């Protein structure tokens, strides 16, 4: 099997994982592997292929994180909390864990609610404050 075929298989693997988890990071890694495959197809030696994959994939993920950190937290004016949902804003809930897609199941008011994380940093478990209620989602920020 040729080197470029292996790189395309790796890119397909990252892409299939991205489709399962909906994580932009895996999509960036898939692009890095695909570009390494193009470098292999062009006849680049293996160290150059590895460098292309590392720089494009790893550098892309690092750039994505830096972009999110520069952006800062999103303003909450874009959320549509209306009616009785306004009574929930400011209440605290406990998050046991986050799914890879950035959502969590939280117990609130006697039921299970789907929650979304608000902010540029990676979500973590623990106490969170409700910023808004959007249909069936609670929008949370860490306390």
Q: What is the pLDDT of residues 23-78, one digit of tens each?
A: 788 899 999 999 999 999 999 999 999 999 999 999 998 998 888 777 665 555 55
Q: What is the per-residue pLDDT for 118?
A: 78
Q: What is the per-residue pLDDT for 86?
A: 67
Q: What is the per-residue pLDDT for 123?
A: 79
Q: Are the C-beta atoms of 53 and 32 separated by less than 8 Å?
A: yes
Q: What DSSP designation does 120 have?
A: S
Structure tokens that stand for 38 in this block:
């193009």
DSSP per residue, 73-90: SPPGGG----GGGGGTTT
Q: What is the pLDDT of residues 110-134, one digit of tens each?
A: 788 888 887 767 778 888 888 888 7
Q: What is the mean pLDDT of residues 78-101?
A: 73
Give strand pairing partners of 126.
Answer: 95
DSSP per residue, 121-140: SPP-SEEEEEEEEETTEEEE
Q: What is the per-residue pLDDT for 37?
A: 94
Whole-model pTM over 0.75: no
| Domains of the chain, CATH where assigned | 3-71 (no CATH), 76-142 (2.40.50.140)
């Amino acid at each position: 099997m040729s080197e470029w075929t292996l790189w395309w298989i790796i890119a397909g693997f990252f892409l299939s994982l991205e489709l399962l988890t909906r994580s932009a990071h895996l999509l960036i890694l898939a692009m890095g592997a695909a570009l390494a495959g193009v470098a292999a197809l062009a006849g680049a030696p293996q160290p150059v292929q590895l460098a292309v994959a590392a720089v494009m994939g790893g550098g892309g993920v690092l750039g994505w994180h830096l972009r999110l950190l520069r952006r800062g937290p999103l303003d909450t004016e874009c959320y549509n909390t209306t009616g009785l949902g306004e009574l929930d804003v400011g209440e605290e809930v406990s998050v046991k864990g986050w799914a890879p897609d950035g959502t969590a199941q939280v117990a609130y008011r006697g039921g299970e609610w789907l929650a979304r994380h608000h902010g540029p940093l990676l979500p973590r478990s623990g106490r969170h404050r409700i910023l808004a209620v959007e249909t069936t989602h609670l929008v949370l920020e860490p306390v």
